[in-house]
Each structure stands twice: as structure tokens, then as C-alpha cells.
């Protein structure tokens, strides 16, 4: 039997040497030799050796072949070795090399079996030990065995010292822990303080993802408890951000708003909302407010610097989009700033630069998400001529397509005389009428016919003002689309319940701010108080700007936490608020539906909180 094995081995060995020799020959190797040359050299040495020496040369040849990803040849050599003759140390290496070859060959289940048989990894050389833990961790992660993968990464931390290697391993370890559904089931069975430290840190991140203040407090306690822990010496990026997410507590706030020009009225409503928020807190906690007229200065960067020079520790503004663009060109912001508009393009700016506004794109995207979540896949769109209409339709279409929906047609309308034409064209009724007219002319007789609308659409999304919507909706009903689901934006609602005027808007769904729609008692009480002091704060377009101004102030303490905690949200008057990595304050709006001319807030089960943009 042994003779047969030896013949098989030498046959394999000769075939391998012959195959490799076709690529060239070498009688010695050096640091510049290629893996192919090394493999040939080691096989030649193995052929001339016996016993443990031969095994060592074969292992070296296998490693060289694996470096070339020549898995079949590496496995042929490894399979030719009789494991029963191997020492304990050599057996550990044999399992390791076989596991690596099987992994490269994408035979993961078999590779896992080989890794699991390495019972004494400490017998391996240091570089092999590192390769064992790293390879085993990668394989387990690819098989969604994330907790086991994290254990291998934790073990690996004890054998690597290069700063970049440590950082990469820690982040991969952290990612695995974040993918474990229930860490608590493992914590009581862990005897290792090293492992326990990682599990406790990951549990903090998971349990308090939406409670930044609690997380920061617990993180401080964890750092004291695990002073020399590897994760304490170099926190995972998520936790490092959390530690930096301190609250802004400005004692002097600069407000950059225009006091002249076309934006004066809007600026006044925003300022009123901000002052209302400030007056709602105790006198001793109120910051000083510095007012700067941004309509006078063509150089917004200089105005920002003036505010900083006069002691501002937080800046709010400017309002005009071009001014925001100009301010964003600064490379350094010594004092945090929250603009009252958004850049027209995405741009990564310093962490203390925030952008807040009421762009129509937000509402269009949320309408797309709401319709998709309601199970609707095919849309037709009606928007006004001009820039606002284009921005609305573009944002809606892009979001709906990202979700998997299809926008079948977009029609623009002009003045009041154009509403009927636009609705006819969008619903395909114009084609039906044209066909009837042509047939009637051809036959030279009067034909009875009822026009039909298109049947290939699931819903209609439209953008209109209050007055426009009251005239457009009857045309939609008249042209046989009374049963078609309709979605719109806040622009169709003026903030007042006017059932007689809005009766034609029945069944239209629209999104708007909680300040105008919420049934929450605290919001209602605040709305009643504000209506006495600022009458325009609770109705029409002014109410939305008032709510924006109110949130501009109340958001300040949480801005840094919102940006560093993706799942953290707070309830504002202008929506459920969050901050993305670009510093955009995102608003998730409430949804309502007209019924008998009244705007009725949908139940929470039917609300759509958008986290997708």
C-alpha cells in the first residue's frame, strides 16, 4: 500500500515539476524570484528529499502556488501528503493551507471544515497564525456567521501591530459585531475580558443608537472600565464620531437675514419663529442674538467674519441661495453655521456647516416614496411651467425610479385657460376625443361616444397652488379619473380648514408640516399661544416659514448628534428632522387627505417616514 502511495506521489510530483519547468528553470531562488520560480524550486527540492524535509518543501511549494492562485496544483500536492505521518505542528499547517486553497476555489463548506480542525493554531509561525485568523474571519463573514467572524478578528488583534492593519481589522471586526442580531445571548458565556470589552461596546452602539446623550455617557464609563482595551486605544470610527457628537450650546447667535428686497417678508416670518422659540425658554438660558442685514452686503463671507469677530458662537443664515453658494466657498468655518437654504449641488463641507430649508424637492421625493409604499408602480405627473415645476418633476421621477417605479408621462400646464388641455393630454382623453371626431367626419354622421382616459397608470402626482388645485381637480374628475389615486405637495393647502372651498379636493393626499396638521396636544397649545402673538404664524405660507424659524433655533443643540447618529431623529414643527452626511437637514413630513373639504391627518400607521434621500 505504501509503495502505491509513493508511486502516486512521485507521479504527481514529476507532472508538477514538468509543468512548471515549461515556464523556465532555476537552481536557486532569491528575494526577487517570482512565486512561480519559487514553486518550481521547492518541488525540485522535495523530489530530492525525504521525511520531514520533503514535507517542509511541499508546504513551501503549496504556499507559492497559492500565491499564484493555482489552487488545483496546490491541492494536488497537499492531497498527496499522508496526514497520519505528520507531526502535530505540520498537521495544523496542512489544514491551514488546504483551507486557503479550498477558499480560493470557492468551496467554502469544505474550507470551513479544514479551518475548524485547526485545534492548536499557536503551533503555527507568526505569519501563518495571522493568515489563519484573517482567512477564517473572512470565510465566516462571507457565510454570514458574523459573531464567529468577530471572534477571529478579536484574536487577530493580539498578533498585528502595524497601525493601518490594526485600524482595518478593527473596522471589519466592528462591522461583523454590528451585523449580529442579538449580542446579549453571547455575553454571559464569555470569559475573556478582551472579547467582553468588544461585546459591551457593540451593545452600547446598538442599544443607544437613537439616544446620543445616553450613549456618550455610557461610552465614557466603558472607557474607564476598559482603559487598556484595544478598542479604547483606537475607537471604531462610529464610536469616535459618537464621542465627538457634543451638543452646541451657543451663548451668542448671529442671524444673517435680509431686511430689504424680495425676501424681506419671508425673512420676517423666519425671524419671528426663531424669536418665538427663544422666548419659550427661561430668560437665564436665552442666548444673545446679533442681527446682521444680509441684503446690504454683497460679500457674505465678510459678513460671516464680522459676526465671528463680534463674538458669535453660532451663525444662522444666509437665506438667499446664491449667498449660501458664496459662503460655502470658504475653506474654514471657525464658528458653526446653519444656512436657511440648500446648495444647488452636493458638496462635502466641514462638519460644522449645515443646510436647512423647505425645498420643493423634499416633498416631491416623499410623494414618490408614499405612493410606492402604498403599492403603486406607474405614475403620471402634472406640474406648472417654469423652474419650480421642473425641479418638482425631476425630484419625483428620480426618486420613484430609484425605488423601482415608472413615470409614464409628465405634462406641464400654464395659466388657468390651460388646465383642461393639460389634464386631457395627461389622461389621454384628447386622443379619445380626436379619434371620435375623425371617425365622425369620415362617416359624415353624428356618433354617440364617451371619451375614455388611459388605463395604464396607477396614480397621478401633481404640483399646484391652492387656487390652481381647486380648479385642476374638477377637470381630473370630469375627465373620468375620479377613481385615480392623487398625490400632491403642501402647496395645495393654506393651513386653514375651508370645507366649502376645498370640497373639490376630496381624496387628494398631500404632505405638510406637523405645525399645520398635528393633533398632538402640545403642538395645539403652542399653536394657540402663537396665534395670539403672531397671527400669521398658523396659516398660509407664513406658517411654514415660522415653523422653519422655530426649528432653526431648537435644532442647534442636537445638530452634531444628528449628523453623527444616522438613526437619530427629533420631532420639529417643520417635520421629523434628521441630518445626513452632507449636513442637509432632512424633513419627514406628515400626510393628510381631504375628506368633505377638510384636511384629515392620516393615522401613524399610514404615515411614511423617509430615510432614503
What is the rounded average pLDDT of the residues 576-584?
91
Question: Which stretch, 16-20, 216-220, 258-262, 367-371, has highest mean pLDDT?
Answer: 367-371
- Pair (40, 164) in one structural domain: yes
Identify the bridge partners of residue 459 per DSSP, sorted by sequence position: 379
Q: What is the C-alpha to C-alpha distance for residues 477 and 438, in angstroms, rounded to an integer? A: 25
User: Which pLDDT tens digit goes with each residue over 312-323?
Assistant: 999 999 999 999
Q: At which of 187, 202, 217 does a domain end?
A: 202
15, pLDDT greater than 50: no
pLDDT band at 142 (very low <50, low <70, confident <90, very high): very high
User: Residue 32 falls within a domain, yes or no?
Assistant: yes
Neighbours of 499 (CB within 10 A): 14
**Do residues 133 and 261 share a domain?**
no
Structural domain boundaries enclosing 275: 256-355
Identify the CATH number of the domain in which residue 75 sits. 1.25.40.10
CB 392 within 8 A of CB 463: yes
Q: Indicate whether 179 and 321 sit together in one domain.
A: no
pLDDT digits (tens, 9 = 90+) for 329-379: 998 899 999 999 998 777 778 889 999 999 999 999 999 999 999 999 999
Q: How far apart are the first and last CA of the chain?
A: 69
Residue 508, phi then psi, degrees to nearest 5: -80, 130
Does 238 reside within a domain?
Answer: no
Residues 104-130 have a mean pLDDT of 92
Residues in a beta bridge with 508: 486
Whole-number Cα distances in Å, 339 to 314, 358, 585, 606: 11, 12, 10, 32
Exposure string for 119-147, b = 16+ CB within 10 A, e = fewer: eebebbeeebbbbbbbbbbebbbeeebbb
- 282 shares a domain with 198: no
Cell numbers describing residue 51: 521525511
Residues 11 and 132 in one domain: yes
DSSP category for residue 555: T
pLDDT-wise least confident of 36-45, 115-124, 195-204, 301-310? 36-45
Kindly tell me if the per-residue pLDDT of 440 is higher than 70: no
606 confidence band (pLDDT: 50, 70, 90)? low
Is residue 529 one of the residues assigned to a domain?
no
Q: Which residues contact 544 (CB under 8 A, 6 or more apart)?
A: 358, 490, 513, 515, 516, 574
- pLDDT score of 25 more than 60: no
Task: Tell me, yes or no, whether 81 lies in a domain.
Answer: yes
CA-only gyration radius of the chain, Å: 34
Collapsed DSSP state (helix, strand, coil) of residue 313: coil
Q: Which helix (H) or strand (E) holds 468?
A: helix 466-476
β-pairing verdict for 585-588 and 575-579:
antiparallel
Best CA proximity match to 297, nearest among 286, 288, 306, 289: 306
Residue 236 lies in a domain: no
| Residue recorded with cell 468588544 | 198
What is the distance between the alpha carbons of residues 333 and 354, in angstroms, rounded to a whole number? 11
In a domain, 7, yes or no: yes
Q: With bands split at pLDDT 50, 70 and 90, how would you rate the model's confidence at 491?
A: very high
Per-position DSSP letters for 232-301, written without gaps between them = HHS--HHHHHHHH-PPP--SEEEEEE-SSSTTHHHHHHHHHHHHHHHHTS-GGGPPEEEEEETTT-S-HH
* Claim to verify: residue 198 and residue 272 sit in the same structural domain: no
Q: Rounded to the nearest 10 degrees, how much is the dihedral formed by the CA atoms of 562, 566, 568, 574?
A: 70
> In this structure, are 79 and 198 located in the same domain?
yes
* Cα 580 from Cα 611, distance rounded (Å): 10
Are 147 and 39 members of one domain? yes
Q: Reduced to 3 states, what is the DSSP secondary structure of residue 486?
A: strand
Given 162, 187, 202, which residue is the final one in a domain?
202
Whole-angstrom Cα distance, residue 452 to residue 331? 59
> At 599, which helix (H) or strand (E)?
strand 598-601
Q: Do residues 244 and 560 touch, judged by C-beta distance below 8 A?
A: yes
pLDDT exceeds cutoff 80 at 605: no
Helix extents (H) in 143-192: 146-156, 163-178, 184-187
Give all strands of the β-sheet with 353-355 in edge-to-edge order: 288-293, 252-257, 314-316, 337-339, 353-355
Reduce the secondary structure of 344-406 to three states and give it as a string. CCCCCCCCCEEECCCCHHHHHHHHHHHHHHCCCCEEEEEEECCHHHHHHHHHHHHHHHHHCCE
| pLDDT for the residue numbered 9 | 44
pLDDT of 608 above 80? no
Confidence class for position 402, pLDDT limits 50, 70, 90 = very high
Phi, psi values for residue 225, rounded to 5°: -75, -35
Q: Are residues 198 and 261 in the same domain?
A: no
Rounded CA separation 232/218 (Å): 13
Of 113, 99, 239, which Cα lies nearest the Cα of 173? 239
Whether 271 and 197 map to the same domain: the answer is no
Of these ranges, 15-29, 39-53, 245-259, 439-453, the one predicted with the greatest mean pLDDT is 245-259
Question: Across the strands, what pairs with 291?
Answer: 255
Flag whether pLDDT at 611 surpasses 50.
Answer: no
Q: Which DSSP letter does residue 557 get?
A: G
Q: How confident is the model at residue 41 (pLDDT cuts 50, 70, 90)?
A: confident
Among 355, 386, 404, give the residue marking a domain's end. Answer: 355
CB atoms within 10 A of CB 340: 28
128 in any annotated domain: yes
- For residue 480, being part of any structural domain is answered with no
Question: Does pLDDT of 430 surpass 60?
Answer: no
- Residue 22: its pLDDT value, please? 43
For position 381, what pLDDT does the model report?
97
Alpha-carbon span 8 to 457, nearest angstrom = 70
Nearest to 455 by CA among 478, 427, 431, 476: 427
66 and 196 share one domain: yes
Query: Who's near 28: CB < 8 A, 6+ residues apart?
Result: 41
d(CA 176, CA 57): 37
Q: Tell me how many domains the chain contains.
A: 2
**Which segment of 121-135, 198-212, 302-316 scores lowest on mean pLDDT?**
198-212
Helix (H, G, I), strand (E, B) or coil at 512: strand
**54 and 144 fall within a common domain:** yes
Task: Find the CATH number of the domain harbouring 279.
Answer: 3.40.50.2300
Q: What is the pLDDT of residue 431?
A: 58
343 alpha carbon, distance to own chain's centre: 19
More reliable by pLDDT, 577 or 59: 577
Instruction: Report the alpha-carbon distance of residue 563 to residue 443 in Å, rounded.
Output: 69
Task: Choose between 433 and 132: higher pLDDT.
Answer: 132
Amino acid at each position: 500500500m505504501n509503495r502505491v502511495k509513493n508511486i502516486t506521489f512521485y507521479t504527481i510530483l514529476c507532472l508538477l515539476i514538468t509543468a512548471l519547468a515549461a515556464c523556465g528553470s532555476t537552481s536557486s531562488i532569491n528575494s526577487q524570484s517570482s512565486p512561480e520560480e519559487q514553486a518550481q524550486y521547492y518541488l525540485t527540492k522535495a523530489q530530492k528529499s525525504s521525511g520531514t524535509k520533503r514535507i517542509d518543501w511541499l508546504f513551501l511549494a503549496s504556499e507559492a502556488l497559492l500565491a499564484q492562485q493555482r489552487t488545483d496544483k496546490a491541492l494536488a500536492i497537499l492531497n498527496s501528503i499522508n496526514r497520519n505521518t505528520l507531526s502535530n505542528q505540520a498537521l495544523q499547517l496542512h489544514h491551514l493551507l488546504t483551507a486557503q486553497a479550498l477558499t480560493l476555489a470557492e468551496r467554502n463548506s469544505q474550507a470551513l471544515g479544514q479551518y475548524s480542525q485547526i485545534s492548536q493554531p499557536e503551533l503555527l509561525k507568526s505569519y501563518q497564525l495571522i493568515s489563519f485568523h484573517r482567512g477564517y474571519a473572512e470565510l465566516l463573514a462571507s457565510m454570514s456567521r458574523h459573531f464567529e467572524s468577530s471572534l477571529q478578528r478579536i484574536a487577530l488583534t493580539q498578533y498585528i501591530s502595524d497601525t493601518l492593519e490594526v485600524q482595518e481589522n478593527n473596522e471589519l471586526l466592528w462591522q461583523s459585531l454590528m451585523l449580529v442580531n442579538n449580542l446579549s445571548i453571547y455575553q454571559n458565556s464569555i470569559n475573556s475580558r478582551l472579547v467582553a470589552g468588544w461585546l459591551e461596546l457593540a451593545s452600547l452602539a446598538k442599544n443607544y443608537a437613537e439616544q446620543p446623550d445616553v450613549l456618550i455617557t455610557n461610552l465614557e464609563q466603558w472607557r474607564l472600565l476598559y482603559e487598556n482595551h484595544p478598542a479604547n486605544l483606537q475607537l471604531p470610527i462610529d464610536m469616535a464620531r459618537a464621542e465627538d457628537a457634543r451638543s452646541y450650546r451657543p451663548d451668542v447667535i448671529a442671524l444673517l437675514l435680509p431686511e430689504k428686497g424680495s425676501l424681506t417678508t419671508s425673512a420676517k416670518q423666519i425671524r419671528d419663529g426663531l424669536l418665538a422659540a427663544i422666548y419659550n425658554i427661561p430668560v437665564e438660558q436665552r442666548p444673545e442674538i446679533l442681527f446682521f442685514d444680509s441684503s446690504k452686503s454683497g460679500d457674505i463671507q465678510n459678513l460671516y467674519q464680522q459676526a465671528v469677530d463680534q463674538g458669535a458662537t453660532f451663525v444662522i443664515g444666509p437665506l438667499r441661495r446664491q449667498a449660501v453658494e458664496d459662503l460655502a466657498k470658504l475653506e474654514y468655518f471657525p464658528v458653526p453655521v446653519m444656512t436657511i437654504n440648500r446648495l444647488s449641488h452636493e458638496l462635502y463641507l466641514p462638519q460644522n456647516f449645515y443646510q436647512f430649508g423647505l425645498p420643493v424637492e423634499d416633498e416631491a421625493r416623499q410623494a414618490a416614496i408614499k405612493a410606492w409604499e402604498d403599492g403603486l408602480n406607474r405614475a403620471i405627473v402634472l406640474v406648472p411651467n417654469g423652474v419650480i415645476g421642473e425641479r418638482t418633476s425631476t425630484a419625483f421621477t428620480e426618486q420613484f425610479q430609484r425605488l423601482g417605479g415608472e413615470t409614464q408621462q409628465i405634462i406641464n400646464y400654464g395659466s388657468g385657460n390651460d388646465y383642461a388641455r393639460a389634464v386631457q393630454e395627461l389622461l389621454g382623453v384628447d386622443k379619445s376625443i380626436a379619434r371620435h371626431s375623425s371617425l365622425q367626419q369620415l362617416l359624415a354622421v353624428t356618433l354617440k361616444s364617451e371619451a375614455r382616459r388611459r388605463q395604464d397608470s396607477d396614480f397621478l402626482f401633481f404640483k399646484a397652488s391652492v387656487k390652481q388645485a381647486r380648479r385642476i381637480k374638477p377637470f381630473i374628475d370630469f375627465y373620468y379619473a375620479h377613481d385615480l389615486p392623487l398625490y400632491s405637495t403642501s402647496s395645495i393647502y393654506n393651513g386653514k380648514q375651508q370645507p366649502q372651498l376645498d370640497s373639490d379636493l376630496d381624496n387628494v393626499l398631500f404632505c405638510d408640516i406637523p405645525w399645520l396638521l398635528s393633533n398632538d396636544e402640545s403642538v395645539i397649545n403652542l399653536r394657540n399661544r402663537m396665534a395670539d402673538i403672531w397671527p400669521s404664524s398658523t396659516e398660509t405660507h407664513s406658517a411654514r416659514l415660522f415653523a422653519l424659524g422655530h426649528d432653526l433655533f431648537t435644532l442647534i443643540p442636537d445638530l452634531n448628534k444628528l449628523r453623527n447618529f444616522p438613526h437619530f431623529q427629533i420631532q420639529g414643527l417643520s417635520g421629523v428632522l434628521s441630518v445626513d452626511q452632507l449636513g442637509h437637514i432632512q424633513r419627514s413630513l406628515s400626510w393628510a387627505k381631504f375628506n368633505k373639504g377638510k384636511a384629515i391627518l392620516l393615522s401613524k400607521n399610514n404615515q411614511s417616514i423617509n430615510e432614503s434621500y
